[in-house]
């Protein structure tokens, strides 16, 4: 089961809006019985129905899996200061290492 | 002896008629008054009795919780799992529902129990499931905790307060209620 947040984000993007821009117009809440949309004040876009939210389950699953993979890659890449040092020392070795990180952690 | 057989005239009891031993001669109450113990007061010139519960700082409480799984950027009600004190048994199902109307001071601390960097952690005080506008957010790193406080008016019957946490780690993450306490403010 994916997060309601992810499905709402995808619903907004499918309607030419972004979560970042609309964040102040949306309240997601959980009172102990699951996530729900507490308030929705997005101009020009109706609050999604339960069916519309459910239709994003597969896409949300892919998005969340990719987010996990990106986080794993980020950790494996290391901090940029160390990478600059690697590039300075042996850029080809750095490219090989980065390519392996990507191969080992493929996105869906 | 001329007044024998006569009815005394009605005369109000005044301050000079009262001897301090009316009070000092009574048995001392060596503990805090019970909620229903009563006092006599002059309410704009009219004598009335009032329960101690209406003038004290009760109820008061201090509780804490454990980890709750919270979705990204979703205000999530935090759970209470232990009580240090709950003076009137008014904390239940993660909510403080005092049975005396008035203003209450509420404070809480929310913790993100991880060493991972976090961009946003929020501590929010909700009344009846909606934000009171009292809350704090923080951009922080490493081990994270944030506190929030407010004064809120509660009706003494159905109104309740609970603490919500919010984060933007990107994925579902644990957050917990490190402490949650409050008390009634005197009138």
Instruction: Spell out the domain ranges in chain B.
Output: 15-54, 60-184
Q: What's the CA dihedral at B173, A15, A39, B79 to 10 degrees?
A: -10
Closest Cα to residue A30, out of A4, A61, A2?
Answer: A4
Chain B CA closest to residue A3: B71
Question: Does pTM surpass 0.90?
Answer: no
- As a whole number, mean pLDDT of residues B116-144 equals 79
User: d(Cα B28, Cα B5) in Å, to the nearest integer?
Assistant: 41
Does 2.60.120.40 match the CATH number of domain B60-184? yes
Reply yes or no on whether the pLDDT at B4 is more than 90: no
Confidence of residue B143 (pLDDT cuts 50, 70, 90): low
Q: Say yes or no for a CB contact (<8 Å) between B73 and A5.
A: yes
Q: Say yes or no for a CB contact (<8 Å) between A28 and B164.
A: no
- As a whole number, mean pLDDT of residues B137-149 equals 75
- Least confident span in B8-12, B63-67, B70-74, B163-167: B8-12
User: Which of A3-7, B30-34, B39-43, B108-112 has maximum average pLDDT?
Assistant: A3-7
- As a whole number, mean pLDDT of residues B109-128 equals 87
What pLDDT, on a 0 to 100 scale, did the predictor assign at position B137? 66
Digit-coded pLDDT (tens) for B64-113: 999 999 999 999 999 999 999 998 899 999 999 999 899 999 999 999 88
10 Å CB burial of residue B98 (0-12, 13-18, 19+) is buried
In which residue ranges of chain A is pLDDT below 70? none
Q: Say yes or no for a CB contact (<8 Å) between A30 and B170.
A: no
- Reading the block at residue B168, the tokens are 């933007």
Whether the ipTM is more than 0.90: the answer is no
- SS3 breakdown of chain A: % helix, strand, coil, rounded to 5? 65, 10, 25
What pLDDT, on a 0 to 100 scale, did the predictor assign at position A96? 97
User: d(Cα B114, Cα B143) in Å, to the nearest integer?
Assistant: 6
B3 against B89, higher pLDDT: B89
Confidence of residue B118 (pLDDT cuts 50, 70, 90): confident
Q: Measure CB to CB from residue B74 to each of A5, A32, A68 and give the nearest one.
A: A5
CA distance A1 to chain B (A): 11
Q: Say yes or no for a CB contact (<8 Å) between B74 and A30.
A: yes
What pLDDT, on a 0 to 100 scale, did the predictor assign at position B113? 86
B184 against B52, higher pLDDT: B184
Provide residues of A within 8 Å CB-CB of chain B. Answer: 3-6, 23, 27-32, 35, 38, 64, 67-68, 71
B30 against B132, higher pLDDT: B30
Q: Say yes or no for a CB contact (<8 Å) between A30 and B76.
A: yes
């Amino acid at each position: 089961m994916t997060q309601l947040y992810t499905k709402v984000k995808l619903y907004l993007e499918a309607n030419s809006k972004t979560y970042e821009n609309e964040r102040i117009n949306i309240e997601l809440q959980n009172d102990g019985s699951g996530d729900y949309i507490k308030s929705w004040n997005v101009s020009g876009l109706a609050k999604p129905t339960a069916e519309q939210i459910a239709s994003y389950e597969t896409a949300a699953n892919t998005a969340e899996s990719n987010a996990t993979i990106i986080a794993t890659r980020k950790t494996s890449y290391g901090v940029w200061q160390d990478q600059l040092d690697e590039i300075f020392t042996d850029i080809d070795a750095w490219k090989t290492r980065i390519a392996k990180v990507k191969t080992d952690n493929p996105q869906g | 002896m001329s007044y024998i057989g006569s009815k005394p005239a009605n005369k109000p009891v005044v301050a000079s008629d009262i001897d301090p031993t009316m009070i000092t001669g009574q048995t001392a109450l060596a503990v805090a008054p019970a909620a229903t113990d009563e006092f006599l007061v002059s309410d704009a010139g009219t004598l009335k009795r009032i329960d101690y519960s209406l003038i004290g700082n009760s109820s008061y409480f201090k509780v804490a919780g454990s980890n709750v799984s919270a979705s990204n950027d979703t205000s999530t009600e935090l759970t209470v799992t232990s009580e240090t004190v709950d003076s009137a048994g008014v904390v239940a199902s993660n909510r403080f529902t005092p049975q005396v109307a008035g203003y209450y001071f509420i404070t809480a601390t929310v913790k993100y129990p991880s060493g991972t960097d976090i961009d946003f952690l929020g501590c929010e005080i909700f009344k009846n499931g909606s934000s009171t506008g009292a809350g704090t957010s923080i951009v922080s790193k490493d081990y994270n905790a944030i506190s929030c406080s407010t004064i809120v008016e509660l009706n003494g019957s159905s109104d309740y307060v609970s603490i919500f946490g919010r984060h933007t780690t990107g994925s579902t993450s644990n957050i917990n209620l490190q402490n949650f306490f409050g008390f009634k403010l005197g009138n």
